[in-house]
Chains A and B, each alone.
Chain A
Amino acid sequence: MDITVKNISKLYGSQKAVDDISFEVKTGEILGFLGPNGAGKTTTMKMITSYLTPNNGEITLDGISVTENPDEIKKRIGYLPENNPLYLDMAIYDYLKFCGELYGISKDKLNSRIDEMINVCGLTQEKHKYIGELSKGYRQRVGLAQAMLHDPEVLILDEPTTGLDPNQIVEIRKLIRELGKEKTVILSTHILPEVEATCDRILIINNGKIVADGSSEQLKKQAKGTETLIVKIEDGDANEIYNALQSLDTIELVDFADRTENRFEIQSGVELSSKRNIFNLCVEKGWVLTEMTAQEENLEEIFRSLTKN
């Protein structure tokens, strides 16, 4: 199911939580929502699930309007809310059964579906326990099981990996990636490596507006103006190397990263690469090049520069 969000705004009193956002998500795409706290990620997700109604604009799933046909939409969306609220006084199995009944899954299918979800989410050992007795990671799995129970075409996951241990995080990411092949997935997170690991596309929201939209490579390319290299050259005098580097025409700026170890931070000119020149220089002078690393502009820096107020 394709999700189309068109010019939606949401006001809380006089405060604009979401300000004229538009984007599209295609089937088989995993979209990652990034943004500082209070940027409007959760509000946008709540509007797609029809929990909240936008003040302006329209959200459609395969052409079906969310505001006009909420019941139709709700059946096709699996939603894991922020903080993963659950009925702590219910057993996992009963809880999933309750959810399945609400989704209108037929009785004969429901049991096998619940068993499948319990399996997929690794809850087999715990299935008769009360949710209140579970640790945070297991609760998160129950939340995911609940969201996927009715095999929805769209999955909306608000911070799906919070509270999970690293092993579980890897498992859940794998699961999301698998699901994302046939379904439309939107997930929000604070963890930047997570978006890189799971999402095909990233949407950065700040102050209710979209400030960046694209794959992580695209974003990096956009953000990266110049090449930065860390270079370590042995068997030479630091000052001599410094001067030689400075005189290369592709290099804009040379800086000592570590003077005693002959490590330099080198910034190339706009759209130029100095890697070959540095190598050739070392060959020519008989220096030994022991390290050359391209300083990638990482997502974290892009995120910070885009969301700084």
Chain B
Amino acid sequence: MNIIWIIAKRELNVFFDSLIAYIMLVLFLGFSGFFTWLFGSDIFMLGQASLGVFFSISTWTLFFFIPAITMKMIADEKKSGTIELLLTKPVTDWQLVAGKYLACLLLIAIALMFSLPYYFTVANLGDIDHGAVWSGYLALLMLSSAYIGIGLFASSITNNQIVAFLLALFISLFFHLIFDFLAFDVLGSAGLILNSLSTQYHFDSLSRGVIDSKDLIYFISITGLGLYLSSLSLTRRNSTN
């Protein structure tokens, strides 16, 4: 069996063994369900058979939930010393980070899977654009992947879960909101660059139903960079006490 999968499997078991996974699932579905069906500009108010509301709410719920999942991933292992246990087994720094990433992504995928009844319900209510729904789900997964990368990096540079959580939120906030805001105020190519750094921009473009490789590359590079920096910061154990 592959090392990465063994590590991911353990993490998932721990998720479902403790309450974390269930709380996360209930809150995620509760929040996004509430705003999709009951409150604000919900589906009935818009009167369209579309999951657009659900997707844009989910970007926010995921924005908060993912740091909560990733915060303990590496920070806790460092604090309790179990990281030494793992890395003295035939496991490389990279495999460790990749295993943690896979576990988080699978948990998010499971959460998203539980929201599929929303899709079936809306599809029964009216004519839904199936392509847009699937690309919306893909966009959510890609967005999650990027935030998991950021979250794992934040978790890898500290022993403290709270610090990891706040740091992940802080870094993600730039991609989620701040780059977007700045792009409004800055003209010219700087504005375009800022705009293209924003996750919202790529999320909207991807969830519109057009799968553009540019958007995929954007999310994959944030993920990759996050994971690369995480494994780099694990290797840094050599220069600090």
Contacts and interface: CB of A to CB of B under 8 A. Distances in A.
Contacts of A101: 1, 6
B201 to A, nearest CB: 39
Interface in A261-296: none
Contacts of B17: 89
Interface of B: 1, 3, 6-7, 10, 13-14, 17-18, 80-82, 84-92, 237-241
Question: By DSSP majority rule, is chain B's interface helix, strand, loop, or mixed?
Answer: helix
A77 B90 CA distance: 10
Nearest to B10: A98
Contacts of A85: 80-82, 84-85
Interface in A1-57: 12-13, 15, 17, 46, 49-53
Nearest to A88: B80
Contact of A102 (B3, B14, B80, B84): B3
Interface string A81-110: 111011111100010001101111000000
B21 to A, nearest CB: 13
Interface in A47-77: 49-53, 70-71, 74-75, 77
B36 to A, nearest CB: 34
A98 B6 contact: yes
A64 to B, nearest CB: 14
B6 A12 contact: no
Category for how many chain A residues contact B: 20 to 34
A102 B82 contact: no
A85 B238 CA distance: 19
Contacts of A75: 90
Contacts, number: 69
A103 B82 contact: no
A253 to B, nearest CB: 47
A79 interface: yes
A293 B210 CA distance: 93
Contact of A89 (B18, B86, B89, B239): B18
A266 to B, nearest CB: 49
Contacts of A15: 241
A46 B240 contact: no
Given A52-B238, A71-B92, A102 B81 contact: no
A102 B6 contact: yes
Given A74-B88, A87-B82, 4 more contacts: A13-B239, A88-B80, A89-B14, A90-B13
Contact of A51 (B7, B14, B80, B84): B84
Nearest to B2: A101
Contacts of B241: 12-13, 15, 17
Contacts of B240: 12-13
